[in-house]
Amino acid sequence: MTIENKLEDLGLVLPDPKPPLGAYVPYLERDGLVFISGQGPALAGGGGSFGRAGGGVGR
């Protein structure tokens, strides 16, 4: 199963990444992990979400 298939099965839609505001790489993939930098909690339909990882997320 691909990541795209798993996201689709979960009913999740990832928003397009925002353009970088500085001279950094927005993400880096290494050893099967993706490290994300400088990407806010934007939702696909606009707006954002907030909360602590593992502690619930609000909109």
Higher pLDDT, 59 or 46: 46
Give the domain extent around 9: 1-40
Closest-CA residue to 17 (of 8, 27, 7): 27
Q: Which H or E run includes 14?
A: none
For residue range 4-51, list pLDDT tens digits in order: 899 889 888 888 877 767 777 778 899 988 888 766 667 767 776 666
Could you tell me if 37 and 27 are in contact, meaning their C-beta atoms sit under 8 angstroms apart?
Answer: yes
How far apart are the C-alpha atoms of 30 and 13, rounded to whole Å? 23
The total of structural domains in the chain comes to: 1
pTM of the predicted structure, to 2 decimals: 0.35
Is the residue at 9 inside a domain? yes
Residue 36 domain flag? yes
Give which of 39, 34, 41, 35 is closest to 21, Cα–Cα: 39
Q: Which residue has the higher pLDDT, 1 or 21?
A: 1
Kindly state whether residue 5 falls inside one of the protein's structural domains. Answer: yes
14 part of a folded domain:
yes
